[in-house]
Structure formats: structure tokens, C-alpha cells
A and B are shown apart, each in its own frame.
Chain A
Amino acid sequence: MSHFKVSYILVTLMTLASFTDSYPTGAFLVITKDASTNSITTLHDRLATEIPKMLGRWSFELKIFKANNQSAPQRDNSDGFLYDLAVDYDPTKSVTLVNKTAIVTTTDVPGSLAQAGCSNGSPDTLGQILQLKLQSLWTLRQVLKGDNGNGYELRGGEFVIRAINVFLHGNFKNFIVLIEHHSNSKSNKTRELSIQKIESLVEELELPKGRLCTDTLSDGADYLSNVIAQLVQAFQT
């Protein structure tokens, strides 16, 4: 009897450990219509009954650049916009999305490059360089800010929910919820499975009604690249 119990605990621990090591197979956003600044408190109360692990506050900044007419890269498939995202729970990384290409930059220069003397130190994000030195090509038009968001970890780390109010030039714009499904397998099928699981979670928890944005860039794209793709999808329509 006791032997059985011990093995059970071991299994649970292992699953927990594998969830924390795993990479999210999906990060999806829900945009809610008719949202107000209070929606976040309503959601907080709703999720509190699930006894989540609180991940603390978070914020993000999405800069939207437009190609300069005179010097725009002339391509048929380009929409002429460039987006730059920085989230504070991954402070060293930033991602820039332009024409379905996500450029990942880091302010944490890899040791091999630093040791080889390639870096001068105190690196910035690509967004800052665009603003400082590439103004002739890209002009900053809008800055969308998310402030004082909440992060929750549900079901032993299987789901991570991040809710946040979005402001444009200080005015409330929308309320978005980022839902991540974490699993240990990286195969292609799990993406479809993740969307299913997230859809059922949304129904089960009776989250506010909204649209699910599930754009991804490619199978190999990293986490932030997918987040920015979905954010852009969410705000475009």
C-alpha cells in the first residue's frame, strides 16, 4: 500500500517537472468585445476559484512602424508595416515582425560572441535601433501598451493564462487574454490538440466571449515570434 503511494507521488513530480521544462506548443490570444477596464478583475475572480499559481504582474509594449514612402522596400507581398514586441517576463528578448518574418534579438549577448570581442556591451533591442538609426526606412506610428497584467498557471503548469488591458496613447483599447498550452511533445499534431484543449478550457472556465487568434509563423518559430504574430492578428481586425 505504502509502496503504491510513493510511486504515485513520484509520477506527479515527474509530470510537473516535465511541464516546466517543456516549451509551449501554442500561445493563443482571445480578444474580448465590449470589454472594459474592469474585465480583468472579473476574470481574476473567476480564475481564483481554480486556485492557480500566481505568476505575478506583467506588461508589454508593441511598437508599430510604417515604411517610409520614399524608401519603402518595394515588394508586392509586403504590407509596409513593422511590429516590434517586448514583454517583461522575457526581458532580454525582443521580436520584430515584418512581412511574416520574425527577427529575434536579444540584449543578452551569447558568451561565444562576447568572448570573441564582437560586442561592445550595453546592447539595445532592434526596435530601439530602428527608432534611432533606421528612421529613413521606418517611422514609428503607434505604441500599444499593456500594463499591470496578471499571470496564472493552471493545472500544474499545463495552461498558462496571461490577462492584460491594452492602451493606445493612454486610452483603453481592449482586453486580451493570452492562453498557453504546455506539453512535452513537440510533434506537429500537438498544435491542433493544443487549440482543442484551449477551446475546451475557455468553455469550461467560462472565460469572456471573444475571438481566438491562432496564427503561427512556422513550425520552428519560437515562442515570442508566435505571440507577436497573434497579437498583430488580434489588432488587425
Chain B
Amino acid sequence: MVQQLSLFGQITRSQHDITAVALGTLTGSAPSPFTTYTLLASPKRVVKYEPNSKNAQFEQYKLHLKSPYDDTKKDRSEYSEWVLQVSDVPSAGKRKISTQAIVESCILVQKDQSIDTVLDSIGYLVEKEYLVKGVRVFYGNIVIEMFQVLVKTAEGEWKELDDRAYLIKCFINVEKATDVENLQKSSQELMSLKNELTGFVELDIPDRNVMDSRIGIRK
């Protein structure tokens, strides 16, 4: 489990090239491109919340599965390695940095399986799939990602969900939630990046509810 400290921002498409150059100059490293194939899986049966139930009731979460995108592969059944991630709702309270706990594991799909059969056996179903495509730079301990989300059209082509804008995500992963010193240091680091980029990119914390991957019970 890691604690992910993050800030988000948005730029228009016309700003993309100059921002890429600016980030390269700021960090002193060339932006490296990445494309991540992501699956979003939901439980096959959603448990309804019963206000006066005697049984213990647990939250249900959506699962994220990530793998590097490979355009030589036809569909998700050809991918054999997946990182499975489940994220908590970000911590509440008045904060300057979004803090979210994420657990993950790496699934090695065996020869006679596909990711769908694996998820099916634990009671999950793939609901959506999308690509995250962009560039990544590193600034001290901070990872800065500038990306767009691509979804599959009816024709089977990947197309930007919103081709007018790019998202910017700056984050640091801290391994232990109890490591207060590192959490503070990382928050400061992100805050100073925010100050540095003021007037260029506005970095802010996203709405907690948007980052919530729980389903069912309370909704």
C-alpha cells in the first residue's frame, strides 16, 4: 500500500508543446512518452445498503488494471501482465494536497486464461477500457504526467475523450502512511512546485468525490 500525494491541473491543447518544453527545462530531462492501457472493473453483483441490517456490510470498490499499451496486440486478452490497483477515497479535511491510499498487486495471467476469466472468478467484470497517453518528467521526487484519456469508438479506433485539453498530474508515492516525516517533506515539495508553476499551470486538489472508487452501498 502506498500513500499517493497529488495535485492536478489542466492546460489547453495549444499550450501543450510549450508546456512540454517548459517542463523539460525546469526538470532538466527530456519528457518521455508513455501510453497505459487501463481497464475499469466492477463487481458483478452490487450489494445494496440495508440501514438496519445485522450483517456486517462492506464497501465495494472498482478495480483498475494497468498495462503498457502495445499496438501490435489486438485486444486485452493478449496481455498477460497486469497491475491491479484499488484506491481509497482521498483523505478528508482541509488540505492543500490530495492524499489517497492505493493498494496494488501484479497479476500474471496464465497460458489458458485471460484477464476476463481471472476477474470473473473473483466476481468482477470489465466495465470500461481506456488509454492514458502522454509524457512524463521527473522533478526531484515528483512525477509529473501530462496526458489525455483515449476511449474506443464504435469503429474500434482510439479517440481522445476531450481533444481540447491535457491533464497534468503531479504526484509522489510515500510507502507508509505512518511515515509522517516523508509525508510532510513530500507535501512541501509539491507545494513548492505549485508555486513555481503559478501563472503557467494552476495546480490544485481535485474534488474528493470524483476520486472515489467506491460503489453501491451509500449511493
Contacts and interface: CB of A to CB of B under 8 A. Distances in A.
Interface of A: 67-68, 70-74, 82, 96, 98-99, 101-110, 112-113, 116-126, 128-130, 132-138, 218, 220-222, 225
B19 interface: no
A72 B45 CA distance: 8
A126 B106 CA distance: 8
B106 A117 contact: no
Interface in B16-42: 34, 36
B12 interface: no
B206 interface: no
Given A98-B121, A113-B83, A118 B57 contact: no
A64 to B, nearest CB: 15
A74 B45 CA distance: 9
A137 B85 contact: no
Given A116-B36, A120-B2, A135-B58, A105 B85 contact: no
Contacts, number: 142
A82 B121 CA distance: 9
B10 interface: no
B84 A129 contact: yes
Q: What is the predominant secondary structure among interface residues of chain B facing chain A?
A: strand
B106 A129 contact: no
Q: What is the predominant secondary structure among interface residues of chain A facing chain B?
A: loop
Contacts of A129: 84, 86, 103-105
Given A101-B121, A103-B122, A133-B61, A118 B43 contact: no
B36 A120 contact: no
A104 B108 contact: yes
A109 B81 CA distance: 9
B136 A82 contact: no
B106 A119 contact: yes
Nearest to B62: A133
Contacts of B2: 120-122
Contact of A124 (B45, B47, B55, B104): B104
Interface in B130-148: 136, 143, 145
Interface string B100-114: 001111111011110
B175 interface: yes
Contacts of A98: 121-122
Interface size class of B (residues with CB under 8 A): 35 or more
B192 interface: no
Contact of B110 (A102, A110, A134, A135): A102
Contacts of B61: 133-134
B143 A124 contact: no
B175 A124 contact: no
A105 B107 contact: yes
B37 to A, nearest CB: 9
B68 interface: yes
Contact of B105 (A68, A117, A124, A220): A124
A99 B110 CA distance: 15
B107 A110 contact: no
18 contacts: A67-B123, A73-B120, A96-B122, A98-B121, A98-B122, A101-B117, A104-B108, A109-B83, A109-B106, A117-B36, A120-B2, A120-B85, A120-B102, A121-B173, A121-B175, A132-B103, A134-B123, A221-B112
B98 interface: no
Given A73-B44, A106-B106, A133-B86, A99 B112 contact: no
Interface in B146-175: 173, 175
A92 to B, nearest CB: 9
A71 B45 contact: yes
Contacts of A122: 1-2, 104, 175
